[in-house]
Structure 1
Amino acid sequence: MNAAELFSVKDRVAIITGGSTGIGRHIATGFAAAGAKVYICARTEAKVMSAAAEISATTGGNCTGLVADLSTLAGIDALVTAVSARESAVHVLVNNAGTMADASIDEYGESEWDPVIDLNLKAPFFTLQKFLPLLRAGGTAERPASIINIGSVGALKVGPKENYAYQASKSAIHWMAKSLAKRLGRDNITANVIAPGFFESEMTVISSDEMRKMVVSMVPRGRVGTPEDLAGTAIYLASRAGAYVTGSVIPVEGGLSI
């Protein structure tokens, strides 16, 4: 097997939740450019359809937008139904949809806690659970299906913000990968986590040159992350090259957590 075959995801069916912006869009773009058949979902129809069209146009690949609200079980069921109507198997599931809320410990309430835990932790579990029949259909001993959950450097290093539910949810996502890997290995499914550091997105905005210098000064690699950094790691995990990697957390953060 040559290097191109080893890292190929051509014609693999990939689902990326929260794929219209930020980290999810970076990963979706990478998969589409590499020849995968990509589905992205988001809550806003105009946004997800526009993103899918732009990804397809810029990569020359295949990206389809689906509307789904993963904060509810009904929304997850709707996503799985929509994909099942189009595909008989799924090879890659990237659980990326997420949110964050920060407030002082004295003021942190249920309105901050519950939505973050629901979308960051509850939704990934039930999404992968509902997709298991399609993932089982997509995996083989040599080419397992791949679950990639998006964790965070915030689960490896305590940052300056008071975002308690976010840190708790991402830490749980990191640990859950081990349980998933242990149980799903027999079904020819791997389960891993990518823990991104600082990537510019709607959730993490660099608002000034001073802030950029401050962020960059904390990163041993001396820069913020790029789309290629995320796409490359996700493609590796979903390719034959990553078929024997499971239950792992891969930091993609330029050394920020050191």
Structure 2
Amino acid sequence: MNAPDLFSLRGRTALVTGGSRGIGRMIAEGFLAHGARVYISARKAEACDQAAHELAKYGHCISLPHDVSTVAGCQALADAYAGHETTLDILVNNAGAAWGEAFDAFPESGWDKVVDLNLKTPFFLTKALSGPLRAAARTRVGKIINISSTDGIGLNPQENYSYVASKAGLIHLTRRMALRLAQDNIAVSALAPGAFPSEMNRNARDHGPALSEHIPAKRIGTPEDIAGAAIFLASRAGDYVMGATLVVDGGVTQARAYR
């Protein structure tokens, strides 16, 4: 066993969508600290460029701003990545959206925006990047990490219909993709984060102490918590994990099941 290299990402390339803030940025920073060359993507170019500039103090980080909510946008990001690298070791499908509205008022636009980005994009972006992913997998196990949510496993009082449907669907899509891509030496897995402070989870960001009272671990998640889980899946340590969803939530999902 080569223990020092078990969690190392030295010599590997990674692309993290939604990498300019929140969970995506936490994962990108963790990858950089473990030696990966990291590319981050986000819809807003200025924010993406600024985040890459700030993350570059930890290692090689390049901004590739693109809107991946459409198949054309996914292909555009894949083409931009190809301008820098010929192989891709790790793809993190993190870009996502949420929409909350009462059942009787819930609009089609709130459905399509969320389901397209949260469920359709991970599939078609992976497909667009299949060439560099397969090329990297000729020498070691390639990695695809889909970012789902505990809301795809259990429910909370929020009326976020398209969000919970998309995140539950992504967990099952992860299983199906894993079964196929294992043939290409690519391991597909997912993370289901709980309460981490971000623009999408403003409750955790703005009301952490109050929210912590409802979490068995008695705190909200930290960058180390989600980055550590992603590093495990992305590194040699996670080579035999295929189709699984790792829940990182301080025990919330188990508490819901208990109640």
**Which category describes the TM-score, using the shorter chain as reference length?**
over 0.9
| Matches for 1:129-208 after TM superposition, within 5 Å | 129-140=127-138, 143-206=140-203
One-letter identity of the residue aligned with 1:165: S
| Matches for 1:1-258 after TM superposition, within 5 Å | 1-57=1-57, 59=58, 61-140=59-138, 143-206=140-203, 211-258=207-254
Q: Describe the superposition over 1:226-251 as per-residue Cα deviations: whole angstroms up to 9, x where unpaired.
A: 00111111111111111011000000
**What is the alpha-carbon distance in structure 2 between the residues aligned to residue 207 and residue 229 of structure 1?**
15
| Kept after mapping to 1: 8 A contact 2:43/2:67 | yes
Deviation at 1:207, TM superposition (A): 7.9
| Kept after mapping to 1: 8 A contact 2:42/2:64 | yes
| Kept after mapping to 1: 8 A contact 2:196/2:205 | no
One-letter identity of the residue aligned with 1:115: K
Deviation at 1:213, TM superposition (A): 3.7
One-letter identity of the residue aligned with 1:251: V
TM-score, structure 2 as length reference: 0.95
Give the secondary-structure state (helix, strand or coil) at the position aligned to 1:94.
Answer: strand
**What is the alpha-carbon distance in structure 2 between the residues aligned to residue 174 and residue 38 of structure 1?**
25
Give the secondary-structure state (helix, strand or coil) at the position aligned to 1:195.
Answer: strand
Deviation at 1:103, TM superposition (A): 0.3
Q: Percent identity?
A: 46
Q: Which runs of 5+ in 2 are unaligned?
A: 255-259
| Kept after mapping to 1: 8 A contact 2:99/2:110 | yes
Q: Describe the superposition over 1:150-199 as per-residue Cα deviations: whole angstroms up to 9, x where unpaired.
A: 00010111012100000000000001111111111110000000000000
Give the secondary-structure state (helix, strand or coil) at the position aligned to 2:38.
Answer: strand
Deviation at 1:2, TM superposition (A): 3.1
Deviation at 1:208, TM superposition (A): 9.0
Give the secondary-structure state (helix, strand or coil) at the position aligned to 1:15.
Answer: strand
Deviation at 1:75, TM superposition (A): 1.1
Equivalent pairs counted in the alignment come to 254
Q: Describe the superposition over 1:59-100 as per-residue Cα deviations: whole angstroms up to 9, x where unpaired.
A: 2x1110011000112211111001112111100000000000
**What is the alpha-carbon distance in structure 2 between the residues aligned to residue 206 and residue 20 of structure 1?**
19
One-letter identity of the residue aligned with 2:134: R
One-letter identity of the residue aligned with 2:115: I
**What is the alpha-carbon distance in structure 2 between the residues aligned to residue 10 and residue 207 of structure 1?**
33
| Kept after mapping to 1: 8 A contact 2:41/2:66 | yes
Deviation at 1:4, TM superposition (A): 2.0
TM-score, structure 1 as length reference: 0.95
Change in Cα spacing, 1:49 to 1:208, as seen in structure 2 (3 Å) is: closer
